[in-house]
């Protein structure tokens, strides 16, 4: 008989157990993205990046043909990681760039979380490759986008069929916090949610301004 224990499930993410890989959040890639509004995409990418910063998550930022074609990485990501070395590639599949393997192996975590553009190319490629090599893989679906809804949805289905675990940007932030009594990251988590959390963030602004509300305090 199963016994309930007050402990998180093994598939829930924690700040220390994974590496976040942000791929090709660049202007040229965003221009052709139609599965999600560009403003929402930038907001969600910012939410993910700043969540990772708050919790000290190991993070790799990579781009494709930054100077010659695709343009700079979103400012919101650069703000979160101003000193990050952005790995600029020629490969559509990030996983085929040897520098990524070096970074992933140096960090040494077997659980990877991906987000980027486009879902059907630059996210499918590395996620399926990583799974083949024994990594546990998550994809933040709403911090990804593609040239059509169809392209994004079929890509997500293909990855899920292969074993990828899908999630969303706000879910990522709140899964890392997971308990409002964790005072060391409470203010920063609320700050990220207020700035990038959409309607939820507006609710936090209202509740804290009008009532000085505190979750779990």
Annotated catalytic residue: which of 20, 22, 49, 122?
122
- In angstroms, the Cα distances linking 106 to 20, 42, 100, 110, 182 are 14, 29, 10, 11, 29
Per cent of the chain over pLDDT 70 is 99
Q: What is the mean pLDDT of residues 186-200?
A: 95
Please state the separation of Cα 167 from the chain's center in Å: 9
pLDDT value of position 5: 95
Q: Is the pLDDT of residue 212 over 90?
A: no
Please state the domain extents for the chain: 19-175, 180-211
Decide: pTM greater than 0.75. yes
Among 127, 176, 160, 170, CA closest to 12? 176
DSSP string spanning 135-158? -EEEEEGGG-B-SSHHHHHHHHHH
190/174 Cα distance (integer angstroms):
10
**Domain 19-175, classified CATH 3.40.462.10, yes or no:** no
Q: Which pLDDT tens digit goes with each residue over 105-145?
A: 999 999 999 999 999 999 999 999 999 999 999 999 999 99
Among 206, 208, 188, CA closest to 47? 188
Is the separation of the CB atoms in 88 and 62 below 8 Å? yes
Average pLDDT, the chain: 95
pLDDT value of position 216: 61
Strands, E assignment, 117-207 = 136-140, 165-167
Is the separation of the CB atoms in 95 and 60 below 8 Å? no
Q: What is the mean pLDDT of residues 146-154?
A: 98
Q: What is the mean pLDDT of residues 52-65?
A: 97
Please indicate whether residue 122 is annotated as part of the active site.
yes
Is the separation of the CB atoms in 47 and 169 below 8 Å? yes
Q: Is the pLDDT of residue 217 over 60?
A: no
Confidence of residue 14 (pLDDT cuts 50, 70, 90): very high
Confidence of residue 213 (pLDDT cuts 50, 70, 90): confident
């Amino acid at each position: 008989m199963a016994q309930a224990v007050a402990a998180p499930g093994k598939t829930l993410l924690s700040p220390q157990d994974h590496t976040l890989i942000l791929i090709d959040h660049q202007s040229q890639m965003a221009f052709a993205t139609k599965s999600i509004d560009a403003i929402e995409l930038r907001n969600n990418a910012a939410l993910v990046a700043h969540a990772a910063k708050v919790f000290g998550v190991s993070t790799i930022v990579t781009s494709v043909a930054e100077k010659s074609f695709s343009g700079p990485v979103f400012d919101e990501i650069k703000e979160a990681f101003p000193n990050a070395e952005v790995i600029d590639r020629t490969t559509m599949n990030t996983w085929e760039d040897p520098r990524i393997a070096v970074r992933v192996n140096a960090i040494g975590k077997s659980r990877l979380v991906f987000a980027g553009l486009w879902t059907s190319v630059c996210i499918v490629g590395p996620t399926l490759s990583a799974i083949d090599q024994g990594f546990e893989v998550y994809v933040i679906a709403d911090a990804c986008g593609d040239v059509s809804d169809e392209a994004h949805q079929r890509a997500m289905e293909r990855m899920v069929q292969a074993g990828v675990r899908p999630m969303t940007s706000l879910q990522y932030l709140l899964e890392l916090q997971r308990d409002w009594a964790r005072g060391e990251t409470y203010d920063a988590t609320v700050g990220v949610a207020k700035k990038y959390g959409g309607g939820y963030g507006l609710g936090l602004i209202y509740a804290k301004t009008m009532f000085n509300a505190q979750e779990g305090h």
